[in-house]
Amino acid sequence: MIVPVELGERRYDVIIGEGVRHRLAETVAETVPGAVRAAVVTQEGIGVDVDPGVPFERFTVPDGEGAKSLGEMERLCRGFAASGLSRSDVVIAVGGGVVTDLAGFAAASFQRGTAYVNVATTLLGQVDAAVGGKTGVNIPEGKNLVGAFWQPKAVLCDTEVLASLPPREWASGRGEMAKYAFLGGVAGAGGDPDASLLALSLPEQVARCVAIKADVVASDEREGDRRMLLNYGHTLAHALEASTFDGAAGWDLRHGEAVAIGLVFAAMLARRLGRIDDGRVALHRQVVGGFDLAARLPGGADPDRLVSFMARDKKAHHDLTFVLDGPSGVEAVRGIDAADVVATLAEMERMTADGER
């Protein structure tokens, strides 16, 4: 399956299916015809070998969100320079969202812009992170606060490699898939959100999510307005993730697990603001549960600290901005009162204490 991301001269294809990683050399030859060297960025535990069709040097980065740092980005760029990589060559990112975010940012920065191709090896990477050209790293003040919009030349989503994923990586990918269940209408599909996406074959699941994202990205490449919708559930999710950067938090959440919590939180906040009713909140819980995900707020989460991270969210313009459901569907809402956010977090904490999933 091929899903195009229509961006004019930056147009590229997302190629989805079993074994498509073996098309990498062909893809590089077609999309980066001047490349004579490649830098393959991956992680030790991924275990996916690729052949870019040109001589290459392999660079490994650590596991986890800690790898998405300015220090690691500098190390990669220095390695690229030492290997003789030029601006006409290509960076190949082989891995999940951590690898594609980090390698993509390094490619965007090295010699002010070097081509890159993503070979996504996780469900999260295939349905979301590897597509759309948002690259970046974390700093202590928040997640993905330093980065660049830099579109890949192609994305290969090999569904064959997903068979070896551990359960929590499947859960992480399904958190993003649950988000797309609420964004189907954005791409012209009607009907109430549900978990019917899981009834499709795995390549069809990936293609459906990629098609929704491609439609949004094509209309708003740099997140001026419409692309913010792709961050549904992410404002709290990113705050929960950022809270772990200093090691003080007592929880460990994969990105998609945090998004699942963020989706239900966003629904509860929308209800508090009078945008949706109880039934719509229940639907969010039903959809999240349908993807076999929980929506419990981690114990010990500090509401004030979470709000401080939310205020630094990339969508915010010196205010609290959330993507919220409402009468017209999901949309960005600015100027949310911090008191409403804190009250919703307290409500969610009470429900978690009462044992709600």
The rounded radius of gyration (Å) of the Cα atoms in the chain is: 20
Q: Give the architecture-level CATH label for domain 2-165.
A: 3-Layer(aba) Sandwich (3.40)
Pick from 220, 228, 230, 229: nearest CA to 6? 220
- How does DSSP assign 38-60, residue by residue? EEEEE-TTT------SS-EEEEE
Residues 66-93, mean pLDDT to the nearest whole number: 97
Determine the pLDDT at residue 319. 87
Active site residues: 112, 134, 176, 213, 223, 227, 231, 234, 238, 255
Residues 146-161, mean pLDDT to the nearest whole number: 97
| Spatial distance between the Cα atoms of 345 and 248, rounded to a whole number of angstroms | 19
317 against 263, higher pLDDT: 263
Task: Name the token pair of 322.
Answer: 């959330």
| Spatial distance between the Cα atoms of 275 and 270, rounded to a whole number of angstroms | 5
Instruction: Note whether 229 and 286 are within 8 A (CB).
Output: no
Q: Kindly list the distances between the CA atom of residue 21 and the CA atoms of 25, 141, 158, 252, in Å, as whole numbers in the listed order.
A: 9, 36, 6, 31
pTM of the model: 0.92
Question: What percent of the chain is predicted at pLDDT more than 90?
Answer: 88
| Spatial distance between the Cα atoms of 4 and 12, rounded to a whole number of angstroms | 6
| Spatial distance between the Cα atoms of 355 and 349, rounded to a whole number of angstroms | 10
Residues 120-128, mean pLDDT to the nearest whole number: 97
CATH superfamily of 170-352: Dehydroquinate synthase-like - alpha domain (1.20.1090.10)
Average pLDDT, the chain: 94
Determine the pLDDT at residue 127. 97
| Spatial distance between the Cα atoms of 157 and 203, rounded to a whole number of angstroms | 9
| Spatial distance between the Cα atoms of 297 and 26, rounded to a whole number of angstroms | 46
Query: Residues 107-116: pLDDT tens digits?
Result: 999 999 999 9
**Confidence band (pLDDT; 50, 70, 90) for 312?**
confident
Q: Is the pLDDT of residue 263 over 90?
A: yes
The residue ranges of every structural domain in the chain are 2-165, 170-352
Tokens 């004030």 identify what position?
Answer: 304
